[in-house]
Amino acid sequence: MSEKIINRILLTNDDGIDAAGIVLLEKAASQFANEVWIVAPAVDKSGVANSISLREPLRISKRGEHKYAVYGTPADCVAFAINQVMKDTPPDLILSGINSGSNLGFETLLSGTVGAAMTGMLLGVPSIALSQYEQADKRVDWSCAENYIISTLTQLLSLTWSKQVCLSVNFPNVAPDKVKGLKVTTQGIGNVKNINATKTTDPHGEDYYWIRIQDGELDKPDHSELAVVEQGYISVTPLTYERTCQNEYRRLTKLVMDN
């Protein structure tokens, strides 16, 4: 891409500043932007959603001219970048990821990758979260994301979307030549069935616990992220903070008024 179409892009993630996914994303972003800034967690912060550090200070490690490691959450990274190091040179776009693993359905409520994009949206910057779907207990295969990140971003950046949403992209776990295209999707339920707390014991005899997500077969409408990604498409879901169930809102309102 000879002519850059964006002045400045901010990159972040939840897997940590040294993760493979953000390396791929930096290569792609450099094709679109005159400047690429990276402000990402110093360590893995998966599963922290939109959480911000209200009761502890942020420690920052400068890694380069436009590269900072933050000892905090992905949302912290976005807030720090926009309010501090990029205050006088704000980003035109935020890209979060590429996450090692999917962010589909319920997973989007847990995801720090999506949380960073949500925070960017809150702060008025167009934001896209990107994730690479993987099969359980298998090493992530980056070939799909690597081959389609440029074309996907090119297509999305040629569009406009509401300031009240951010976009969540999931690349399917298929070989690049098996990708069927790109589809706009709904979040859906996804495949998270349960969250477990498993007890184990350390060498000193003290108990500790691992929190683990349990997948299961759940309903997946044809337009949902999970269904589309499993069919071999790249999914793009417009997400917002509003999570009110409108049907139940109307039903409960009527019950209260009739009571």
Q: Note the pLDDT tens digit of each residue in 21-63.
A: 999 999 999 999 999 999 999 999 999 999 999 999 999 999 9
Contacts of 220 (CB under 8 A, 6+ apart): 188, 189, 190, 191, 226, 227, 230
Dihedral angle sign, alpha carbons of residues 198, 14, 186, 177: negative
d(CA 221, CA 224) in angstroms, rounded, equals 5
To the nearest whole percent, how much of the chain has pLDDT over 90?
A: 87
Tokens, residue 99? 């996450």
Mean of all residue pLDDT scores within the chain: 94
Q: Residue 104 burial by CB count (10 A; 0-12/13-18/19+): exposed, middle or buried? A: buried
Domains of the chain by residue range: 6-189+220-258
Q: Using one digit for the tens of pLDDT, what is the confidence trace for 91-143? A: 999 999 999 999 999 999 999 999 999 999 999 999 999 999 987 667 889 99
- The structure tokens listed for 186 are 């709904």
Q: Identify whether the C-beta of residue 33 lies closer than 8 Å to the C-beta of residue 44.
A: no
Predicted confidence (pLDDT) at residue 217 exceeds the cutoff of 80: no
Cα 107 from Cα 188, distance rounded (Å):
10
Cβ distance 130 to 171 under 8 Å? yes
The pTM (predicted TM-score) of the whole model is 0.94
**Residue 208 pLDDT > 90:** yes
| Neighbouring residues of 2: CB distance < 8 A, sequence distance ≥ 6 | none
Contact 161, 126 (CB under 8 A): yes
* The residue type at 186: T
Q: What pLDDT sits at residue 194?
A: 87
Which tens digits make up the pLDDT trace of 139-163? 889 999 999 999 999 999 999 999 9
Q: Are strands 181-184 and 233-239 parallel, antiparallel or unpaired?
A: parallel
Tell me the per-residue pLDDT of 197-207, one tens digit each, with 9 for 90 and over: 999 999 999 99
DSSP conformation class of 207: E
Distance CA 196, CA 137 (A): 17
Helix axes 143-157, 20-29, angle to 10 degrees: 40
- The CATH code belonging to domain 6-189+220-258 is 3.40.1210.10
